[in-house]
Amino acid sequence: MASGVDPYREIYSRRTEQMSGSEIRALFSVLERPEIVSLAGGNTYTDAVAGRVAECVQAVLARASGVALQYGPGTGLLGLRERLCDLMALEGIDADPHHVVVTDGAQQGLELIAKVFVDPGDVILTEAPTYVGALSAFSSYQVNARSVPIDEEGLIPEELARTIIDLHGEGRRAKFLYMVPTFQNPSGVTLTPSRRAEILEVCRRSDLLIIEDNPYAQVRFSGDPVTPLRALAPDQVVYLGTLSKVFSPGIRIGWVLAPQPIRERLVLAKEAANLCTAPFNQMVAEEYLSSGSTEEDLQIVRKVYRERCQAMLDAIDRHLPREVVVRPPEGGLFVWVTVTDPLNTRDMLARALRGGVAYVPGTAFYPVKTDGKQSMRLNFSYPSIEQIEEGVERLGRVLDEELELGRSLGI
Q: Which residues lie across from 254 on neighbouring strands?
A: 103, 242
pLDDT tens, position by position, 145-164: 999 999 999 999 999 999 99
- Which three-class secondary structure string do you get for the chain? CCCCCCCCHHHCCHHHHHCCCCHHHHHHHHHCCCCCEECCCCCCCCHHHHHHHHHHHHHHHHHHHHHHCCCCCCCCCHHHHHHHHHHHHCCCCCCCHHHEEEECHHHHHHHHHHHHHCCCCCEEEEEECCCHHHHHHHHCCCCEEEEEEEECCEECHHHHHHHHHHHHHCCCCEEEEEECCCCCCCCCCCCCHHHHHHHHHHHHHHCCEEEEECCCCCCECCCCCCCCHHHHCHHHEEEEEECCCCCCHHHCCEEEECCHHHHHHHHHHHHHHHCCCCHHHHHHHHHHHCCCCHHHHHHHHHHHHHHHHHHHHHHHHHHCCCCEEEECCCECCEEEEEECCCCCHHHHHHHHHHCCEECEEHHHHCCCCCCCCCEEEEECCCCCHHHHHHHHHHHHHHHHHHHHHHHHCCC
Angle at 304 between CA 316 and CA 187, to 5 degrees: 50
> What CATH number matches the domain at 21-42+296-408, 3.20.20.70, 3.90.1150.10, 3.10.100.10, 3.30.70.100?
3.90.1150.10
Instruction: Tell me which fold the domain 52-289 belongs to.
Output: Aspartate Aminotransferase; domain 2 (3.40.640)
Whole-model pTM? 0.94
Residues 6+ apart with CB under 8 A from 241: 84, 87, 88, 106, 214, 215, 217, 254, 255, 257
First-to-final CA distance of the chain: 43
* pLDDT, tens only, 130-143: 999 999 999 989 99
CATH 3.90.1150.10 residue ranges of the chain are 21-42+296-408
Distance CA 195, CA 359 (A): 30
pLDDT of the chain, 411 residues: tens digit per residue: 455 789 998 898 888 877 766 666 656 666 678 899 999 989 999 999 998 999 999 999 999 999 999 999 999 999 999 999 999 999 999 999 999 999 999 999 999 999 999 999 999 999 999 999 999 999 989 999 999 999 999 999 999 999 999 999 999 999 999 999 999 999 999 999 999 999 999 999 999 999 999 999 999 999 999 999 999 999 999 999 999 999 999 999 999 999 999 999 999 999 999 999 999 999 999 999 999 999 999 999 999 999 999 999 999 999 999 999 999 999 999 999 999 988 999 999 999 999 999 999 999 999 987 899 999 999 999 999 999 999 999 999 999 999 988 777 766
Candidates 331, 264, 254, 309; CA nearest to 39 is 309
CB 380 within 8 A of CB 398: no
CATH 3.40.640.10 residue ranges for the chain = 52-289
